[in-house]
Structure 1
Amino acid sequence: MKIVHVVGARPNFMKIAPILQAVARAGFAEQKLVHTGQHYDPSMSDVFFTDLGMPRPDIYMGVGSGSHAEQTAKVMLGFEKLCLEERPNLVVVVGDVNSTFACALVAAKLQIRCAHVEAGLRSGDMRMPEEVNRVLTDRMCELLLTPSRDGDENLLREGTPPERIHFVGNVMIDSLLSHLPRAKALGIPEKLDLDPGGYGVLTLHRPSNVDDPVVLGGLLGAVEELQRRIPIVFPVHPRTRKQLETFGFGPRMAAMPGLRLCEPFGYLEFLGLTSQARLVLTDSGGLQEETTAVGIPCLTLRENTERPVTVTEGTNTVVGLDPARIAAEANGILDGGGKHGRIPALWDGKSSERIAALFRR
């Protein structure tokens, strides 16, 4: 059996790494790792192969940036050629980036069985490119591997045949639990002259948040109030850094002594940072899950989430974009509030083993 695994952007790596390792241990398949190059900045991609112990990609497509249509088309052209040459029995795609959808569509057209890891997640907001990718990918894939029970419910409600749905748990938590001791041992807070539990972490990367100067300025307003009480570490995504410069927010941020801007971290460094924070403010889907897994209060800077289990069972609160509400919720956490939550079902570090067993069957 030949399996082709696809990664294209930073969130994909943490999900594919444990699956590669579980299938290798089981020894029933030849595996090829394809990196589409959708994220091509070394700080957003290359360091993850080292941190996660992943093999270097067998094939690097190097599609780079562009509009959604350009990026999707480049991935499809390259991946179709690859599939015709490699003739895989199974294509594995993860998450909701353009590479995920593009490769699933190619596999469907070539009648190659395709598995979608992290299937069934829905925000209900089709204005989000990721939601479009999620819905369409699930329609095309034969094996739908869900991380939480709400994923099963969403797929069934959309008319998906039950035999295509497999609840395997959250494979990204496999990576987190495997690497958490090593990440904490790095002493990242101390290296930044911070006390564990005495700082916040901010991440922003979604176009809806960083491409609008009014929205981005409002978020900075909430951070401006919060950094007076607690240091805020802000690893700046390349896209976000560009927009901050374009909108002229540099002097405003320089006037915030408690705001610490830095380059993006590798996986281990970032996990070491977030797992010891007092709170996390983010628009990242994966970080909502990671904070739930390690019990850190999370404020999601969006109007919705495709990961509602992190709200209903975990430590996440969706606070929207209103600066006053963000500041109020954050202050509540600093005053001793915030969710404690619990670990959702099958977020146990064994999802990759269940996936490998499914592929073997």
Structure 2
Amino acid sequence: MKKIVTILGARPQFVKAAVLSRVISKHKEVEEVIVHTGQHYDTNMSDIFFDEMEIPKPTYNLAINGLSHGAMTGQMLQKIEEVLLDEKPDLVVVYGDTNSTLAGTLAAKKLNIKVAHVEAGLRSFNMKMPEEVNRILIDRISDLLLCPTDTAINNLMNEGFENIPTKIVKCGDIMKDAVEFYSKVSEEKSSIIRDLKLQKNEFVLATVHRQENTDNIESLKSIFEGLQEISKRKEVVLPLHPRTKAILDKNKLTYTVKMIDPVGYFDMLELLKNCNSVVTDSGGLQKEAFFNKKHCIIAREETEWVELVSNGFAKIVGSDAAKMIDAFKGFQNSTVDFSINLYGNNVGKKIYNEIFKLL
């Protein structure tokens, strides 16, 4: 039996990886060993997280977190190498653009183990983002690049990947499979809409956590001023990231926005299903908004998911409060067709088939 090691470091990666794990378990041709680096320490990732979401529990938990980028990546590289030497896999699977993803890729390649990168080819073209640096390095040394969109493939071609001995495949976005699977159970698992006394289509869901926004106090103020203005028209519900909360508290900033504690995946899905629209600086939430047929206002200067903008499902506003408000107003009368298939179907099965060819 062939063996793969999957490297994960954050809760969204576990949700995505669960899609592929379910396919693997059905075929019984491959053994999967899951390594959790511990990069994003999350008290919600207890046994109940894995049990309720039907996610395989990690074989290894390296518990590496709370360090600088360099220290974290270095320690991960060392520990993952030890795991790979013990497990001797035929291939390593990595997801996205975290330090865990980079460390897993480097460790594997230095041991001449093949690497498959899920979510390859994404680019923001903002080299100040640590994730952008990670993406470029990971793609350059991976053996199989599993791209979610034509844009991702075009990005690779523009970087000269036709001259690099790696296989590039458009397989769609694995998060689409995850949202479809978990949407069937989130309604019975979550009571957040009832608990918060929210009305369908009468609130806006918001998240703010990226350092480019939280570390610039003027940007943060402008974003929250925009949210406060929107809240005069629709209630704004904002699961508050700990870093954002700390900065708001430190600067004694208060706003008439409904700030709640961070929520689990089921709660977030229910908020997405029932909201009017979304304001976020998160990459993943932009797509999840689309999957739930919601318009998205992007509080960043760029997005990796450009097809959402070009097709009228999302609008980039940066930290400009006026642009945010205009986008919100514009989306209230939008008639765009959310039935367009931007991100494929049965993505987990397609990814499994491509990985199996490489084993």
- CA change 1:50–1:260 in 2 (3 A) is farther
Deviation at 1:340, TM superposition (A): 4.2
Deviation at 1:326, TM superposition (A): 0.7
Structure 1, residues 75-133: CA drift from partner, whole Å, max 9, x if none?
11111111111111111100111111111111111111001000001111111111111
Residues 223-234 of structure 1 aligned to structure 2 (within 5 Å): 223-234=227-238
Asked whether 1:173 is paired with 2:156, we answer no
SS of 1:229's equivalent in the other structure is: coil
Aligned residue in 1 for 2:117: 116
Aligned residue in 2 for 1:315: 313
Deviates more, 1:30-39 or 1:259-268: 259-268
Asked whether 1:184 is paired with 2:187, we answer yes
- CA change 1:46–1:160 in 2 (3 A) is farther
8 Å CA contact retained: 1:313, 1:342: no
Amino acid at match of 1:274: L
Deviation at 1:191, TM superposition (A): 2.4
8 Å CA contact retained: 2:143, 2:166: no
Deviation at 1:188, TM superposition (A): 2.9
Asked whether 1:62 is paired with 2:63, we answer yes
Asked whether 1:219 is paired with 2:215, we answer no
Amino acid at match of 2:18: A
- CA change 1:195–1:121 in 2 (3 A) is same
Q: CA separation in 2, counterparts of 1:273 and 1:299?
A: 16
Aligned residue in 1 for 2:73: 72
SS of 1:275's equivalent in the other structure is: helix
8 Å CA contact retained: 1:148, 1:344: no
SS of 1:125's equivalent in the other structure is: coil
Deviation at 1:344, TM superposition (A): 3.2
Deviation at 1:43, TM superposition (A): 3.4
Deviation at 1:47, TM superposition (A): 6.1
Deviates more, 1:183-192 or 1:151-160: 183-192
SS of 1:43's equivalent in the other structure is: coil
SS of 2:178's equivalent in the other structure is: helix
Q: CA separation in 1, counterparts of 2:102 and 2:179?
A: 25
Deviation at 1:332, TM superposition (A): 2.6
Q: CA separation in 1, counterparts of 2:251 and 2:11?
A: 26
Q: CA separation in 2, counterparts of 1:314 and 1:57?
A: 39
Structure 1, residues 50-91: CA drift from partner, whole Å, max 9, x if none?
442112111000001121111111211111111111111111
Asked whether 1:24 is paired with 2:22, we answer no
Q: Note the aligned Cα RMSD (angstroms).
A: 1.8
Structure 1, residues 190-227: CA drift from partner, whole Å, max 9, x if none?
32101111100110111101112111111111111111
Percentage of matched positions with identical amino acids = 36
Unaligned runs of 5+ in 2: none
TM-score (norm 1): 0.93
Amino acid at match of 2:248: L
Amino acid at match of 1:139: R
Unaligned runs of 5+ in 1: none
Aligned residue in 2 for 1:151: 152
Aligned residue in 1 for 2:355: 359
- CA change 1:346–1:323 in 2 (3 A) is closer
Deviation at 1:292, TM superposition (A): 1.2
Q: CA separation in 2, counterparts of 1:77 and 1:127?
A: 26
8 Å CA contact retained: 2:92, 2:108: yes
8 Å CA contact retained: 2:177, 2:348: yes
Q: CA separation in 2, counterparts of 1:342 and 1:312?
A: 15
Q: CA separation in 1, counterparts of 2:135 and 2:47?
A: 25
SS of 1:177's equivalent in the other structure is: helix
Residues 238-277 of structure 1 aligned to structure 2 (within 5 Å): 238-249=242-253, 252-253=254-255, 256=256, 259-277=257-275
8 Å CA contact retained: 2:290, 2:313: yes
Residue among 194, 204, 214 paired with 1:210: 214
Asked whether 1:130 is paired with 2:125, we answer no
Aligned residue in 2 for 1:344: 341
Structure 1, residues 256-300: CA drift from partner, whole Å, max 9, x if none?
1xx211111111111111121101000011111111112101001
Q: CA separation in 2, counterparts of 1:124 and 1:215?
A: 20
Aligned residue in 2 for 1:299: 297
